[in-house]
Amino acid sequence: MASKFEELINYRREIGNFDKACTLINWDMETATPKMGTDTMVEMMGALSTKAFEMRTSEKMEQLIDAVLEPSEFEQLDQYMQKAVKEMKKNFEENKRIPVEFHTEYTMHMAKAQEVWRTAKRENNYEAFKPYLEKNISYTKQLYAYIKGEGKGNYDSMLDDYERGMDMATIDKLFDELKEELIPLVKAIVSKPQPDRSKFTRSLDVNKQKEFSRYLLEYIGFDFDRGVMAESEHPFTTNIDRNDVRLTNHYYENDFLNAAFSIIHEGGHGIYEQNVHGRFEHTPLSECSYMGLHESQSRMFENVLGRNINFWKPVMPKFYELFPEMSDVTVEELYREVNRVQNGLVRIDSDEVTYCFHIILRYELEREMFNGNVSVDDLPKHWADKMEEYLGIRPETDAEGVMQDTHWSGGMFGYFPSYLLGSIYDGMFLEKIEEELGNVDTILAEGRIKDITKWLNEKIHTYGRYREPKEVIQAVCGKELSVKPLIKYFKEKYTDIYGL
């Protein structure tokens, strides 16, 4: 006979089938669904997520969880599964407060809003997107009001939802410290001369770029037996489970570096998902939903490792083989190009350091939107003003301004800070890697990047979301979260590159 715990896991596994089908529908909508097929997909998503939601909030679920929470059962579990069951209880309590009809409406609205955003962005038509954005905000407020109990949902709840333990007070402090150091650093950098970029805008065959993307993923340790790579407008990572992790990339004929770094970034996410311990499957511990921690992994590969000159040294032979027309590009030139610091309008095209301001801007706007100080009507103006304040430039269109990212179109408010938190964590992880594995430059130059991947697998990935972000920092680095290592990393790197 199955134990109470096994019964619970089996029921969660059943629910998982419906959740996974929703993930698949979402993946398909981004990578395959034809234009006219969207409405049906949205309807399917609504039906399946409703079914999953009903099961997740059912009396049966409650009974199964509570049975395992009985001390006689609970004490038989190890610390991991105890944590898993506590998480289930927390999720159950939160979900139970959301009315089924609201959940269905919310899910279908968000799927539709993303579709509208896609077209509106293409046509630079903020007016078309605005009513959806407005609704996204009110739906999100309502969602968190339900989750936290009527009246208690606010922007802090959203931050906590994407990065457990984070709130405005903590983030304000971290980001303010960063601003103080980075505003003068960026000013100093951009006053320096820039290298010529013309070699890097040469037209390179898109299919060769795909091959190169695949090569890079394998090089950093992504497992294609348990993952796939496809194409979508905006690169992203999703997963059915740890054995089916899915990445996308996008390609521009005259900007191969865009695809290369996008895929290294997504690869970091994917490697995390692929390396969560197998025994966490069908439990919340397998759902790596702490997004700052997740972004620390993608940004570790993309920036800390990928923008190091030594990353490229062992990769150049493959690069020259695929792109013989680039045989006159030296690894030094490539390194300089991928570390060009320039004030630009678009987050995903920006360099490692000005990127921080793209995030701070979004964070501050979200915070003010949910605090009622910025309206959807005024959003483009506030956006432009902040861009000017931090980077000295203003967007000419909403497509390259307020509509550039997918997040708000899907109701992901509170996600943006994760990117920068990820970099802050990376500063700390980098120190620890050097302490434990030795000089990163040497490891990379010797083509041993997978040693670092393995270290990350063992120190971070395998735990899934067993540990909360602050616990991870403490466990891995043995100290409190601080922006100092990141600032040190930036200063050393750019002082060298730009001769400050």
Binding site for a copy of itself (CB under 8 A): 14, 17-18, 20-21, 24-25, 28, 31-37, 39-41, 43-44, 46-48, 51, 207, 224-228, 230, 240-241, 243-246
Q: Smallest gap, in angstroms, from Cβ of residue 270 to a copy of itself?
A: 11
List, in sequence order, every residue forming a beta bridge with 246; answer none if it has no partner. Answer: 228, 238
- Closest CB to a copy of itself among residues 241, 349: 241
Q: Please state the φ and ψ torsions of residue 346, each to the nearest 5 degrees.
A: -105, 120
Q: Please state the φ and ψ torsions of residue 147, each to the nearest 5 degrees.
A: -60, -45
- In whole angstroms, what separates CA 252 from the centre of its chain? 22
Q: Smallest gap, in angstroms, from Cβ of residue 206 to a copy of itself?
A: 8
**What CA–CA distances, in Å, run from 86 to 70, 93, 414, 464?**
12, 11, 24, 15
**SS3 call for 227:** strand
266 is known as an active-site residue:
yes
**SS3 call for 151:** coil
- Closest CB to a copy of itself among residues 122, 224: 224
**Greatest distance between any 2 Cα atoms in the chain:** 73
Q: Smallest gap, in angstroms, from Cβ of residue 226 to a copy of itself?
A: 4
227-231 and 237-241 beta bridge pairing? unpaired
The candidate with the shortest Cα–Cα distance to 141, out of 365, 351, 414, is: 414
**What CA–CA distances, in Å, run from 124 to 119, 168, 473?**
8, 32, 41
Q: Smallest gap, in angstroms, from Cβ of residue 14 to a copy of itself?
A: 6
List, in sequence order, every residue forming a beta bridge with 227; answer none if it has no partner. Answer: 245
- Closest CB to a copy of itself among residues 190, 240: 240
Q: Smallest gap, in angstroms, from Cβ of residue 48 to a copy of itself?
A: 6
Question: Counting every residue, how long is the chain?
Answer: 500
Q: Which of 266, 352, 364, 366 is catalytic?
A: 266
- Closest CB to a copy of itself among residues 227, 411: 227
- Closest CB to a copy of itself among residues 20, 340: 20
Catalytic center residues = 266
